[in-house]
Amino acid sequence: MRNLWIFISRYNAFFLFIIFFVVGIYLTVKNNSYQRSVTLNSSNEVVGTAYERLNVFKRYLNLGMVNDSLAAENAKLKSQLLGLTTVDTAKDVKVVDTVTNQQYTYLAAKVVKNSVTLRNNIMTINKGTVDGIKSGMAVIAPQRGVVGFIRDVSAHLATIQSLLHKDTKISVTLKKNHALGSLVWGDGNFDIKKAFVKEVPNHIKMYVGDTVVTSGYGSFPAGVLVGKISKANVATNDNFLSAELNLFTDFSTLQYVYVVKDKKADEQKALESMAKPNE
Amino acid sequence: MNSRIIIVNVIRWFLLLFVQIFLLKNMGFYDLSTPFIYVLFLLLLPFGIPNILLYLLAFATGLTLDAFYDTMGVHATACVVLAFVRISFISISLNRDAIDDPEPSLSYMGFQWFSLYTFLCVAAHHLVLFFLETFRLTEVGYTLMRCGLSCIFTLLIIFLVEFIFYRRTPR
């Protein structure tokens, strides 16, 4: 027994290394299966507050670009308004109140922390359970483009698992012929402006410049613009085609995002869970 | 003398982590090369430090970084590996009884020893860091490239810092 103690104390560096290494690996693996501890997360209020403070300064740097995009949006809205006010009012117009049946509502949120340089990127926004945000909701960019899904939510903050993450998969479709595919990022290409559409059936013809939109089969509403195909018909080893596309979303300058609230999400989930697999 | 060492290291810790989290985190060349300067704190801890304290400091520093990078455990594990390489390299290359320098910095140890020491520690740290972050072997080429380029970037900044704070010591 004494010899054992002498042995352990002589090589203490190695044994301590083993202990700490195992603890580190354990933490990493636990984190990968999404049961992350709440305390050391950027949903954590302390870290979140620090980033919010930092963001006050960072916002000034991108002010010019944000102004431009706001001006562009203003111009668009104004032209729409012009179209509305010049309608011939003498005509009999029937107005149907569709608001009560509206399935999707958007909630604007500010990005307090963004990352694009990692293999798996996570963002933090300044809205949480208080504003009705739940895990799994879709997030889209202000003008056009998709961003990702809500991952963890605290009272006033939430994290987004962005498209730039190995586990994110979004159901998309070609605008012209409604062929389905799934949108993924980072398969040997880690450019934040490019992504891949995979699992497109072999008989579909794709061309460079085709527009890709969301299919509406997930939590995203149908028809959200995703990107334009830049390299079509890349052959894969299986029975499907894949394509490379340029994303409309610019992840590196993202400041505001819209969280999509689906009124029928719970109902749909409950209904679909009734169909048991292997029935 | 002893309290001076502690104060210097505490200041160094805050300074390096501040630079890492608020400046270098936003830096990177084409998603390939990201510098991790905070390891310099672990490299420059004094020679006389007990192993258990070194591991605890490495683990705590890694966890702090993890909290800001959203990568629970990855940096902590990489720092622990760095601590192990540091202990092994020092015990192999130096005679434990004959060490009279306070800390393994460039000013005390000379360019040759320090560069080998820094390279080995940083390389081990980055290898573990990038492979744990990717957590799969299918992208091994890309991961190795990121690791190598980041190593070069980190080493460059470490030498820059060390030459800026170079003190000529009477030998």
- A44 in a structural domain: yes
DSSP letter at A132 equals T
Same domain flag for A23 and A134: no
Tell me: the pLDDT tens digits for B101-152? Answer: 778 888 888 888 899 999 999 999 999 988 888 776 777 888 898 899 999 9
Contacts 24+ apart (CB under 8 A), A237-242: A239/A201, A239/A202, A240/A198, A240/A199, A240/A200, A240/A201, A240/A202, A241/A200, A241/A201, A241/A202, A241/A204, A241/A206, A242/A181, A242/A196, A242/A197, A242/A198, A242/A199, A242/A200
Judging contacts by C-beta atoms under 8 Å, the chain A residues touching residue B73 are 24-31
- B41 in a structural domain: yes
Of all residues in chain B, the one with the smallest CA distance to A26 is B73
Same domain flag for A20 and A154: no
| Pairing state between β A158-162 and A146-153 | antiparallel
Residue with tokens 């102004």: A67
Domain that holds residue A27: 2-32
DSSP string, A203-247: T----TT-EEEE-SSSSSPTT-EEEEEEEEEEE-SSSEEEEEEEE
- A267 in a structural domain: no
- A272 in a structural domain: no
CB contacts under 8 A, B 59-78 vs A, are 59, 62-63, 66-74, 76-78
Rounded mean pLDDT of chain A?
A: 79
Judging contacts by C-beta atoms under 8 Å, the chain A residues touching residue B66 are 40
How many helices (H) and strands (E) in chain B?
A: 7, 0
pLDDT at site B140: 85
Return the CATH number at A146.
Answer: 2.40.10.340
Contacts 24+ apart (CB under 8 A), A32-40: A32/B135, A36/A152, A36/B72, A37/B72, A38/A152, A38/A154, A40/B63, A40/B66, A40/B67, A40/B72
Tell me: the pLDDT tens digits for A122-178? Answer: 899 888 888 888 888 889 888 888 999 998 999 889 999 988 888 888 899 988 888
pLDDT at site A88: 44
Same domain flag for A19 and A54: no
Q: How far is CA B92 from the centre of its chain?
A: 19
pLDDT category of residue A93 using cuts at 50, 70 and 90: very low
Quick check: A247 pLDDT over 60?
A: yes
Same domain flag for A8 and A146: no
pLDDT at site B10: 92
Higher pLDDT, B106 or A80: B106
Same domain flag for A9 and A129: no
Residue with tokens 């560096």: A13
- A278 in a structural domain: no
- B148 in a structural domain: yes
- A26 in a structural domain: yes
Q: How many structural domains compose chain A? A: 2
Same domain flag for A67 and A154: yes
Q: How many structural domains compose chain B? A: 1
Same domain flag for A130 and A51: yes
Query: φ, ψ for residue B47 (rounded to 5)?
Result: -60, -35
How many helices (H) and strands (E) in chain A?
A: 5, 12
pLDDT at site B169: 63
Same domain flag for A153 and A221: yes
Same domain flag for A15 and A146: no
Give the number of beta-carbon pairs within 8 Å between A and B: 96
Q: Are B120 and B81 in contact (CB under 8 A)?
A: no
- B170 in a structural domain: no
Residue with tokens 């360019």: B111
Mapped onto helix, strand or coil, the DSSP state of residue A258 is: strand
- CA atoms of B36 and A269, how far apart (whole Å): 44
Residue with tokens 């810790």: B13
Token output for A117: 């340089």
- Cβ distance B81 to A21 less than 8 Å, yes or no, reads yes
Tell me: the pLDDT tens digits for A172-182? Answer: 998 888 888 88
Q: How far is CA B105 from the centre of its chain?
A: 12
Tell me: the pLDDT tens digits for B51-90? Answer: 889 999 999 999 999 888 877 788 999 999 999 999 999 8
Tell me: the pLDDT tens digits for B34-58? Answer: 889 999 999 999 888 888 899 999 9
Judging contacts by C-beta atoms under 8 Å, the chain A residues touching residue B55 are 16-17, 20
Domain that holds residue B24: 2-164
- A271 in a structural domain: no
Judging contacts by C-beta atoms under 8 Å, the chain B residues touching residue A44 are 67
Contacts 24+ apart (CB under 8 A), B129-136: B129/B36, B129/B74, B129/B75, B129/B78, B132/A25, B132/A28, B132/B73, B132/B74, B132/B77, B132/B78, B133/A118, B133/A119, B133/A120, B133/B71, B133/B74, B134/A119, B135/A28, B135/A32, B136/A166
- B126 in a structural domain: yes
Of A16, A26, A41, the CB nearest to B52: A16
Same domain flag for A52 and A184: yes
Same domain flag for A15 and A60: no
Same domain flag for A242 and A254: yes
Of all residues in chain A, the one with the smallest CA distance to B87 is A13
Tell me: the pLDDT tens digits for A2-36? Answer: 888 888 887 888 888 888 888 888 887 776 543 34
To the nearest 10°, report the CA torsion of A158, A123, A108, A36.
Answer: -20
